[in-house]
Chains A and B, each alone.
Chain A
Amino acid sequence: MREATAERAQTANPYLVGLAAWLVPGAGHLWFGRLFKGAVFFVALPVMYGIGLALHGRIFPFELGQPLVALAALADFGIGVPSFVARALGYGSGNVVAVTYEYGNAFLIVAGLLNMLVVVDAWDIALGRK
C-alpha cells in the first residue's frame, strides 16, 4: 500500500489534496487509497459535528472585532462542507440558554480542529513525507 501511495503522491497536486481533504473529511486519505483512515474520518468527524449542532452549539461568525469569536469561527469552518451545509439548512444558530450550549460548541470547534489535523496529515502524504 505504501508503494501505491508513493506513486499517487508523485502525481498528486498537494494543494488540490489539501483542498479536497478540507472540504470533505477523509477525502485526502481516500485519495491515496488509505481507505480505513479515510472512512473513519469521513464518518466520525461529520457525526461529531452533527452532535455539536444537536447540542445547540453555535457556528460562530467571522467577527474580527472579537478575536476569540473569529478563532472559534475559523475552527468551525475547519470541517469544510458540513459547516456550509449546516449553515444553509439553518442549523448552528446556537441557543445560549440551552444546558448543552457549551458542550455543543466544544464538539463543533474540536471537530473542525481535528479535520485541520487530518488535512495536514493528507498534505504530508501528498508530499511523500509519510
Chain B
Amino acid sequence: MHSHLLLLLLFSFFVSLIFAVLMRDDAREQLRFGGLLFGGFIASAIVLGWVMYVFPL
C-alpha cells in the first residue's frame, strides 16, 4: 500500500472517527462533526500540497 492519497484518507478517517465519537454524544452530531473533520483533513492536505508545489522547501 504505497498510495499517499489512500493513506491520507485512511488516517483522516480514523482520526475523524475517534474525535467525533469522543467529543459528541448524539449520533447525528457525531456524523456531522466527523464529516467536517474528515473534509477539513482532506481539503487542508490538498491545499498544503499545492502550496508546496508552488513554493518547494
Contacts and interface: CB of A to CB of B under 8 A. Distances in A.
Contacts of A100: 1-2, 7
A44 B17 CA distance: 8
A110 B15 contact: yes
B33 to A, nearest CB: 14
Interface string A33-72: 0001100110011011001001100000000000000000
Range of interface residues on B (Cβ < 8 Å): 10 to 19
A118 interface: yes
Q: Secondary structure of the A side of the interface?
A: helix
A30 to B, nearest CB: 13
Contacts, number: 39
A40 B18 contact: yes
Contacts of B50: none
A114 interface: yes
A76 B57 CA distance: 29
Nearest to A99: B2
Contacts of B15: 110, 114
A31 interface: no
Interface of A: 36-37, 40-41, 44-45, 47-48, 51, 54-55, 99-100, 103, 106-107, 110-111, 114, 117-118, 121
B1 A45 contact: no
Interface in B1-26: 1-2, 7, 10-11, 14-15, 17-19, 21-22
A55 B6 CA distance: 13
A44 B18 contact: yes
Contact of A40 (B1, B7, B17): B17
A17 B57 CA distance: 46
Nearest to B27: A36
A1 to B, nearest CB: 10
A118 B18 contact: yes
